[in-house]
Structure 1
């Protein structure tokens, strides 16, 4: 792994460099509808994005390469396997003369954490390449590459709250209010494929009944209160939570720690874990809860902020 010269995420970009934030993705609900005959899982998920993010820059010109820095750079693994480069290479195969260059990733989000860190980085790379090459972010070639790079990449390209269905490619925008929240990761990696394997669905098997599959999802209307949204989320679930806890029992401890915080209105795991979240009425309650969790578990990654 190479380390870039940038050591501060807030450092000024050099002339000609493009900058994008790669915001953490949070699954407020996640229902596994079933497993298709091709082995992929159909999902229904309400997705929001947090105000914590990796930072990706692109300096156009020269060969494609990636540098990493930041507090969690060592967790990125081999640079050649990074989804940033995968996305860039796939786009170059479809856009003749694509201008790339040097990407620099400042990594602060935990990896294999259920918050789409790598997917958000890849989506940021596609947005940067779109800007550098005069492409629209809804260009059919870019959208195709997003899906080929990873199931969570399409939702991370716009990074806006939505209902995500299919294998992650169908997105319907939602207008969420800002939700005060705390994200906690116990710094253990959880492989998505292992969690789906633990779910144990066979090809072609449905997890929910036919009536549930065809029933329309109804969410609060625009302008609804935070309480209405929290109540709606509470009627949902994350079907991957139980299999993930069997793989990493510490997830249960994270959920308990958040549930014990005063003012926690909803506590749930995001994605395939191990990151969990709690939603609060206001930012002050979220900050107090985060401080409590940090004090009790200084080894955990904790972020207090908002989802939208």
Structure 2
């Protein structure tokens, strides 16, 4: 932070597991997910200004060009209204997380905006209050506000922060295929899903527990974007990952390795072979503080 400029990292969200049940009467889907955050993501920078403005940079921001009601601005206006203030801000989003990628990029950006403006406007609102406000903006935003290892339940609004969590070493890969979350859920519903069965994470035996858990949206996402299968295949062949899985509703996938060196070696091999893809070696746990 320099002067009155405030910078917040919008860490990519990774669903290590994702159980989803059939839709409730209100059409929302109950879920149970173990969520961690990468030490990589977008960056939100805010400065004092007379009104609310948003500028964008980064290759991934091209997909947002022309959006008149970006989630970042919606979050800023919601906080402004809730606080009953007229203060403005010049907001800049440096976009690295691909759009519609299953990594919670838009939610992470909105959450980082709320944290940054809470500081800029000296509101001193606790994160719990920001999370309550965020529920009306998007189901993933409350989790992204915490950016810590957590278990999400309900429709994403029931958050259980986890205790000490050793970082996991991984590679995130996105082949540049945007996937509509709404379409994935439509295909999921067409399969007549069962009622949600929850599964509490076993942090003492995490690798074995993760291996036995699903991403219930993966089959539906594969039917929407069959190319996801190739992403999973190339990750499985990169080094010796202990786990390969799709994150969220796709199309991003991740692989977990036993060490940071192994994840970096796998990422270097993938990036060389697939230069047009997003390939990032990451530590997964709490989000970056940068």
Whether the aligned pair in 2 keeps the contact of 1:127 and 1:137 (CA below 8 Å) is: no
In 1: Cα distance, 2:59 partner to 2:201 partner: 41
Name the residue aligned to 2:221: 244
Name the residue aligned to 1:263: 240
In 2: Cα distance, 1:14 partner to 1:82 partner: 26
In 2: Cα distance, 1:303 partner to 1:120 partner: 17
Matches within 5 A, 1:293-304: 293-304=270-281
TM superposition shift of 1:72: 2.0
TM-score w.r.t. the length of structure 1 is: 0.87
User: RCO (CA 8 Å, sep 6+): is it higher in 1 or 2?
Assistant: 2
TM-score w.r.t. the length of structure 2 is: 0.92
Whether the aligned pair in 2 keeps the contact of 1:116 and 1:152 (CA below 8 Å) is: yes
Q: Which has the higher mean CA deviation after the structures are superposed, 293-302 or 117-126?
A: 293-302
What is the aligned-residue RMSD (CA, Å)?
A: 1.7
In 1: Cα distance, 2:73 partner to 2:5 partner: 17
Q: For the structure 1 residues 69 and 138, does the alpha-carbon distance in structure 2 shift closer, same or farther, using more than 3 Å as the test? A: same
Whether the aligned pair in 2 keeps the contact of 1:100 and 1:129 (CA below 8 Å) is: no
Name the residue aligned to 2:168: 179
Whether the aligned pair in 2 keeps the contact of 1:71 and 1:107 (CA below 8 Å) is: yes
In 2: Cα distance, 1:101 partner to 1:155 partner: 24
Q: After TM superposition, what 4+ stretches of structure 1 lie above 3 angstroms from structure 2?
A: none
TM superposition shift of 1:289: 1.1
Identify unmatched segments of 5+ residues in structure 1: 1-12
Name the residue aligned to 1:5: none
1:219 paired residue among 202, 207, 217: 202
In 2: Cα distance, 1:298 partner to 1:46 partner: 30
TM superposition shift of 1:34: 2.3
Q: Which has the higher mean CA deviation after the structures are superposed, 53-62 or 21-30?
A: 53-62
Whether the aligned pair in 2 keeps the contact of 1:66 and 1:79 (CA below 8 Å) is: no
Q: Which has the higher mean CA deviation after the structures are superposed, 76-85 or 111-120?
A: 76-85
In 1: Cα distance, 2:211 partner to 2:252 partner: 18
The count of residues paired between Structure 1 and Structure 2 equals 283
Q: Which has the higher mean CA deviation after the structures are superposed, 169-178 or 156-165?
A: 169-178
Q: Secondary structure at the match of 2:146?
A: coil
Structure 1 residue 199 corresponds to structure 2 residue 199: no
Structure 1 residue 306 corresponds to structure 2 residue 289: no
